[in-house]
């Protein structure tokens, strides 16, 4: 009953596919790199007899393919021929198939091509980057660029130029920068739609994947095939900062087009330095700034000059001491992403006014205190909630009061940090009110996790524990979480060297990661981990063996 088959690195002979062709229920066949060896497939003809139900023919990265057999026109069910990064000859033959379908009186299928005929990957990248440069400077019109490159993709490519050459680029950072720019023109599910953009760049051979998530479903980091360099990326202040400029044909009035201060909409620091004094006095002039990334500049207090940048949507800082955020933070009412990096011991303290940032979507700090929402009792009508919040980390465990939790009810990803002395796990019991929560992380929360699985939201899909020092038996409680798919046990998550899980636990767990723990013996039964797809072990030097029951 096999319906879908994917071959990767199998190096089959092409004639072996004739055997696969006899599988009567096969609906999808994907042949990835090195699926077959050789350059010719003789044994089968492209006729309606051999492919009676073929709807889509997709060919990618096959520059050596000379042509698509004209016999494909005889396949009545064929609706689409899609070519990506193929030769000019194969593209021309696809057009002939389409014309033949029309001449035979059948409905012609669509032909799509994601590169200009005759261009290899390098040529395509050169054309794209040159087109981005010209369009940004309004020297040519849209008709001169490749038809398959949307304006959103052209703009997104510029952001690769802010990173050092040949460096792995975090996709999350790209996505949040793209959202801050506003060129994606999205209203509701910003993150969901923004996640599609990196994969589209990969599919179009504009970037290649460096790292994927452990479950292999998302791109974590990538690199462009060609370095992005053009006049829209300004290198300033002795090479310590890079800036992106607003294209002259958008947003600004004619007499502002030559004003670089007004055209600058993004500033990024590069390389760890203490150069902020050189930029601080100039910030007030960048009135239209949307992105300010100072994550490579050490600061010891919040730069008050930033408070004048009312159009700011993305702010990233780097600290090495405790930091108090001023009450005037409420002026930055457009901020969507606020990131503060720093050493683990540094703590950021927010005033009540932080609740006035109604557009906030991502709040990521090494460790911070969030005051109760100033609207008073949680049972009364609330006026200041983070309605758009998606990500919060790392919130101090003592701040998990009902007032705070009710103010972040829509959060999907939450990180909680310990280190504060509290007498019970009472505050963490409030997490049950987070009915949108899918990802939860604990770090330095020593032996204070809730004693019942009912204290966790039923929506939880991913859980990460690091330096929590829980007993291995506590995982029996975690095993009761009904929708848990990913469990990561990082450094010193558990105490002890033996794990004997109860039966019928982790019924939906697909990925289990154990890293840098002192586990020696792990017992499993065939009633555990019924749908487990990946078991990842890292730095488990004491582990004697993987139980045979995993088979």
DSSP states of 297-324 as a string?
Answer: EEESS--GGGGG-TT--EEEEEESS-EE
Angle, CA of 487, 492 and 495, to the nearest 5°: 95
Query: Are the CB atoms for 483 and 453 separated by under 8 Å?
Result: no
Helix (H) or strand (E) holding 171: helix 171-181
Range ranked top by mean pLDDT from 62-71, 279-288, 450-459:
450-459
3-class DSSP state of 531: coil
Could you tell me which residue, 476 or 384, shows the higher pLDDT? 476
Give the mean model confidence (pLDDT) for residues 424-431: 77
Give the mean model confidence (pLDDT) for residues 465-471: 91
Cα(33)–Cα(8) distance, integer angstroms: 6
- pLDDT tens for 168-217 read 888 888 888 888 877 666 556 677 777 778 887 887 777 888 888 877 77
Q: How far is CA 87 from CA 62, 63, 92, 93, 116, in A?
A: 7, 5, 9, 10, 9
Length of the chain, in residues: 551
Contacts of 61 (CB under 8 A, 6+ apart): 33, 84, 85, 86, 205
- pTM beyond 0.85, yes or no: no
Could you tell me which residue, 508 or 101, shows the higher pLDDT? 508
pLDDT at 139 over 80: no
């Amino acid at each position: 009953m096999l319906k879908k088959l994917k071959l990767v690195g199998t190096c089959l002979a092409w004639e072996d596919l004739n055997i696969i062709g006899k599988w009567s229920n096969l609906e999808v066949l994907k042949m990835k790199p090195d699926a077959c060896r050789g350059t010719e497939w003789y044994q089968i003809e492209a006729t309606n007899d051999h492919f009676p139900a073929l709807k889509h023919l997709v060919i990618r990265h096959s520059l050596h393919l000379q042509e698509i057999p004209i016999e494909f026109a005889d396949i009545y069910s064929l609706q689409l021929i899609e070519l990506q990064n193929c030769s000019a000859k194969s593209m021309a033959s696809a057009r002939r198939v389409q014309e033949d379908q029309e001449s035979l009186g059948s409905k012609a299928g669509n032909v799509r091509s994601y590169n200009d005929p005759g261009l290899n990957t390098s040529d395509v990248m050169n054309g794209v980057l040159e087109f981005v440069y010209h369009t940004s400077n309004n020297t040519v019109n849209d008709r001169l660029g490749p038809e398959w490159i949307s304006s959103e993709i052209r703009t997104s490519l510029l952001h690769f130029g802010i990173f050092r050459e040949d460096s792995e680029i975090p996709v999350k950072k790209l996505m949040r920068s793209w959202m801050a720019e506003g060129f994606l023109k999205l209203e509701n599910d910003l993150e969901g739609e923004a996640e599609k953009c990196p994969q589209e760049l990969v599919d179009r051979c504009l970037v290649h994947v460096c790292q994927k998530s452990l479950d292999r479903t998302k791109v974590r980091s990538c690199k462009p095939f060609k370095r992005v360099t053009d006049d829209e990326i300004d290198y300033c202040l002795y090479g310590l900062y890079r800036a992106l400029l607003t294209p002259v044909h958008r947003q600004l009035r004619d007499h502002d087009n030559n004003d670089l201060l007004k055209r600058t909409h993004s500033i990024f620091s590069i390389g760890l330095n203490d150069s902020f004094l050189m930029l601080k006095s100039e910030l007030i002039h960048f009135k239209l700034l949307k992105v300010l990334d100072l994550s490579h500049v050490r600061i010891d207090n919040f730069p008050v000059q930033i408070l004048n940048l009312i159009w700011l949507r993305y702010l990233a800082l780097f600290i090495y001491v405790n930091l108090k955020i001023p009450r005037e933070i409420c002026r930055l009412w457009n901020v969507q992403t606020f990131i503060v990096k720093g050493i683990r011991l540094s703590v950021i303290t927010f005033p009540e006014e932080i609740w006035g940032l109604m557009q906030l979507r991502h709040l990521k700090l090494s460790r911070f205190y969030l005051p109760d929402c100033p609207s008073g009792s949680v049972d009364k009508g609330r006026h200041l909630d983070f309605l758009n919040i998606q990500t919060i980390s790392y919130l101090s465990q003592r701040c998990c009061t009902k007032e705070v939790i009710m103010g972040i009810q829509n959060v999907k990803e939450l990180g909680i940090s310990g280190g504060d002395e509290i007498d019970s796990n009472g505050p963490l019991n409030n997490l049950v009110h987070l009915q949108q929560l899918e990802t939860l992380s604990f770090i330095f929360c020593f032996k204070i996790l809730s004693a019942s699985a009912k204290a966790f939201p039923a929506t939880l899909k991913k859980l990460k524990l690091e330096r929590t020092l829980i007993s291995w038996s506590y995982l029996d409680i975690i095993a009761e979480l009904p929708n848990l798919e990913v469990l990561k046990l990082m450094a010193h998550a558990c105490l002890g060297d033996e794990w004997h899980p109860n039966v019928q636990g982790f019924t939906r767990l697909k990925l289990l990661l154990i890293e840098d723990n002192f586990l020696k013996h792990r017992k499993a039964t065939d009633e555990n981990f019924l749908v487990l797809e990946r078991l990842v072990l890292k730095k488990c030097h004491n582990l004697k063996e993987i139980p045979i029951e995993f088979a």
